[in-house]
Amino acid sequence: MTKTLLIGMPTQQPYNGRPEYLVGAAYCHAIEAVGGVPLLIPLSDEPWVLDRFYGMLDGLFLCGGGDIAAHYYGDIDSGALTFVDEPRDRVELQLTRRALRDRMPVFGICRGIQTLNVAAGGTLYQDIPTDFSEALDHRASTGKPHGHVAHIVRVEGDSQLSHILGNAGRNEAMSVGVNTFHHQAVRDVAPGFRVNAWAPDGVVEGIEWGKSDGAYALGVQWHPERMVPLREDMVRLFARFVEACGSG
């Protein structure tokens, strides 16, 4: 009998301040489409609650959302941060650090790549328009159809990301069309990680665990879950993650 793979998804609080925990349905659907079972994790203050959830997981999935509080990466709020959810920061960073320590597979999207980088010791640009004078509009997909391609990213040919997206067996770089919804990005890449994708303006679009020790940790800055119904390469991002969750 095939094992049911439980994929932990920390929730978020709604931007309107209502006392609720939320996760975007598209993330759940994308995981379900490749055979994983989403397990939504509340932002509990009780360590024993989080321990119980963590003990059930085969993998950790970090969704998109608002900004991470600047003090978590040794910075001061510049005034550009929006929708900071510190209970979410605390829970996600705690679970991500534990997963990285235990070699549990981790996959992060948009805010999730930023959480992954901060949890491992990296830093962020708080606001791309402020920090990049000639930056692309990295919120250009807002309000557009799910399959909207805002710009191309250059994916390093020798990276795991490149192989997942269909460049297996070749080491040349590839170009991939992506959507974009963010105003923050990876700045200093965390120790042990490597950049695997860049936007044309130099903004980091992907990172992955860079050591050949069998660990799986990968993040992308775009939103592949919104493109899953239309793009087989985006489906493979979720399929490879769930496959890694089942190989432990």
Residues with catalytic function: 110, 223, 225
The type of residue at 219 is G
- Nearest partner of 62 among 195, 212, 241, 199, judged by Cα: 241
Rounded-to-integer distance, Cα 20 and Cα 236, Å: 32
